[in-house]
Amino acid sequence: MSDNDLENCVRKYRSTVFGTALCFVKNPSDADDIAQEVFMKLYKYDGKFDSDEHIRAWLIRCTVNLSKSLLRSYWYKFSAPLEEAGDKVYCDSVKNADILKLLNKLRPKIRTVLYLHYYEGYPAAEIAKLLGTTESAVMARLSRGRKQLRKILLEERNESDNGLQEYI
């Protein structure tokens, strides 16, 4: 891959890779490190890609794998962060920031599926391929995630169910 091709890919897919990593590790610094490593792997990759969608899928799969590896690592399990950066999320709007903070309260499997579906626009079948699971598992995680978000919102806002649909 040439330097120009890599630059174009970084510009195009930086937010997707970062957002996916952030769903797993909940720490912007770790997500940045994972994103950098993903793009280094892309630069060194010798294979061919059929389309932009193929590149995007490869990047997401690589991001998921590296995120899981970090979470399993001895260093990550037994180290304490210098600062609690998990609640600091880079967002374009306050509403997105609120929703992403709520997503961080969910388990990684559910959080990742919700992010890929609602923020990246992937259908359940594509998410299943990317994550190496079944479409029914993805649909179950989406349903479970919506219910958990609804419960969290109701608890935080002490509101009735009226008007909640604008958030979910």
pLDDT tens digit sequence for 1-24: 778 888 888 999 999 999 999 988
Burial 86-119 (b: 16+ CB within 10 A, else e): eeebeeeeeeeeebbbbbeebebbbbbbbbbbeb
Q: Where is average pLDDT lowest: 63-67, 88-92, 151-155?
A: 88-92
On the CB side of 18, CA atoms within 13 Å amount to: 13
Cα(52)–Cα(56) distance, rounded to whole angstroms?
6
H or E element at residue 162: none
Residue 137 has pLDDT above 60, yes or no: yes
Q: How far apart are CA 94 and CA 111, in angstroms?
A: 19
pLDDT tens figures, 148-159: 888 887 777 765
Fold exhibited by the domain 1-86 = Rna Polymerase Sigma Factor; Chain: A (1.10.1740)
Q: What is the mean pLDDT of residues 38-52?
A: 88
pTM above 0.75, yes or no: no
How many CA atoms within 13 Å lie on the side-chain side of 56?
15
Residue of 51 and 94 predicted with greater confidence:
51
Task: Give the Cα separation of 51 and 89 in Å (integer).
Answer: 31
Fold of 91-168: Arc Repressor Mutant, subunit A (1.10.10)
Question: What local confidence, expressed as pLDDT, does residue 154 receive?
Answer: 79
**Is the per-residue pLDDT at 55 higher than 80?**
yes
Which residues, 6+ apart, have CB-to-CB distance to 138 below 8 Å?
A: 113, 124, 125, 127, 128, 131
- Domain ranges for the chain, please list them: 1-86, 91-168
